């Protein structure tokens, strides 16, 4: 099974497209994960540049966060997913639904995403993320029971934060969830937040080890399932995800360096 590692566009939005793409290629990533412009010409410019650089693409949609009302959320989700699929990415990672929507409403949104996925022939995976339908293990499990084919992006740092633990007390939850994972957001969280200051620091060792064990299991499951590719995106984010010093507001680490270092760790671990 081939491991492909993607660079997040999040945190580098100030760079011109070609400058960012060149930076990604020089660092040794296999591709880019990003939210694409709705404008067709701008989207084509991005996808053309990415392809010319020999990089793969994972498309994101997260902008439904701006639409708390269900009807507006559903309309935006459809537009954003069609736009993402039109770029013919390897897959689309979506922030779907809300933790305060009814189960029936979230199921309606998941069904919409599935229909769009089938229409375009592009896999759509739903990110484990706070405030979404998957924001807490006990929120997600009923959906897994109803939808055995549901495909997920594992950003388990959010569950660490939501559950105020490294999930040591939830082995059955993880056993039910990890077989559904098709994409990993390789960020390390901790019991009080979704991102440690620096995963290489001694004080982050326990959190890093917990995440590595989850990722190991996901890779093992995908290999056993005969998957051709497993995708991962180191996704350490900018402030306020990245902690800053009091008074000065200076970040305690360099976001890009963290993501490159995680990419290197993943390559060494998984080949």
pLDDT tens digits, residue range 44-74? 999 999 999 999 999 999 999 999 999 999 9
Cβ contact 242:255 at 8 Å: yes
Quote the CATH superfamily of domain 2-270.
Divalent-metal-dependent TIM barrel enzymes (3.20.20.150)
For the full predicted model, state whether its pTM sits above 0.95.
yes
Upstream peptide bond of 240 is cis (omega within 30 degrees of 0)? yes
DSSP state, residue 181: E
For helices 70-86 and 40-52, angle between their N-to-C axes, nearest 10 degrees: 40
β-strand 181-185 against 229-233: which pairing, if any?
A: parallel
Radius of gyration of the chain (CA): 18
User: Which pLDDT belongs to residue 271?
Assistant: 87
CA dist 221 and 31 (Å) reads 23
Low pLDDT (below 70) residues in the chain? none
Cβ contact 93:125 at 8 Å: yes
Percent of the chain with pLDDT over 70: 100
């Amino acid at each position: 099974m081939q491991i492909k590692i993607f660079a997040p566009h999040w945190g580098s939005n100030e760079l011109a497209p070609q400058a960012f793409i060149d930076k990604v290629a020089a660092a040794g990533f296999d591709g880019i994960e990003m939210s694409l412009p709705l404008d067709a010409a701008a989207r084509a410019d991005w996808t053309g540049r990415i392809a010319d650089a020999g990089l793969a693409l994972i498309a994101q949609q997260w902008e439904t966060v701006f639409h708390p009302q269900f009807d507006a959320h559903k309309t935006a989700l459809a537009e954003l997913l069609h736009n993402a699929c039109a770029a013919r990415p390897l897959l689309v990672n979506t922030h779907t639904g809300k933790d305060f929507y009814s189960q029936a409403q979230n199921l309606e949104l998941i069904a919409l995403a599935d229909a769009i996925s089938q229409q375009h022939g592009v896999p759509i995976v739903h990110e484990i993320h706070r405030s979404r339908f998957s924001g807490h293990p006990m929120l997600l499990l009923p959906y897994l029971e109803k939808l055995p084919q549901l495909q997920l992006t594992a950003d388990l740092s959010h569950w660490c934060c939501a559950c105020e633990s490294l999930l040591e007390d939830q082995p059955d939850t993880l056993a039910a969830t990890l077989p559904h994972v098709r994409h990993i957001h390789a960020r390390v969280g901790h019991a009080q937040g979704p991102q440690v200051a620096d995963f290489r620091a001694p004080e982050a060792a326990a959190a890093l080890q917990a995440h590595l064990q989850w990722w190991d299991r996901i890779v093992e499951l995908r290999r056993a399932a005969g998957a051709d590719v497993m995708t991962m995106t180191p996704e350490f984010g900018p402030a306020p995800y990245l902690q800053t010093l009091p008074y000065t507001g200076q970040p305690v680490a360099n976001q890009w360096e963290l993501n490159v270092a995680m990419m290197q760790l993943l390559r060494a671990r998984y080949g």
